[in-house]
Amino acid sequence: MKTEDLKKIGVRISERRKELKFTQEQLAERMNVSTQMISNIERGNKAIKIDNLLNLCDILKTSTDYILTGKHTNIDFDNLASKISQLTESDYKMIEMLVNYRLIENK
């Protein structure tokens, strides 16, 4: 795998970890790996093994497709829909307006 691809994967892992407010240490502990390994993966210095990738995606509540390619899947959309369903009615309307605006802008 190219270094550039490893760096992109690392950025997606780091961003998702931070969204969930995990430190590298907390993620490493949950995965039963070293903090150094998490650091190396996030910096794109090392590739992640398949079994660790599956575990990571489970912990970060995202798909392997997103981590590897940046493309969202139904799992990602379901997780987002679950979050949106917890919003107040006014916040929901705001999100809906934003989505509609972006759809019009992207045409």
Q: Which CATH superfamily is domain 1-71 in?
A: lambda repressor-like DNA-binding domains (1.10.260.40)
Please say if the pLDDT value at position 17 is more than 90: yes
Token pair in block for residue 54: 């599956």
The DSSP string of 35-63 is: HHHHHHHHTTSSPPPHHHHHHHHHHHT--
Q: Which residues contact 49 (CB under 8 A, 6 or more apart)?
A: none
Each residue's pLDDT tens digit, 66-81: 999 999 999 889 989 9
pLDDT at 50: 96
pLDDT at residue 85 tops 90: yes
The confidence band for 54, taking pLDDT boundaries of 50, 70 and 90, is very high
For residue 100, report the phi and psi dihedrals to the nearest 5 degrees.
-60, -45
Let me know: does 63 contact 72? Beta carbons within 8 Å.
yes
pLDDT at 81: 93
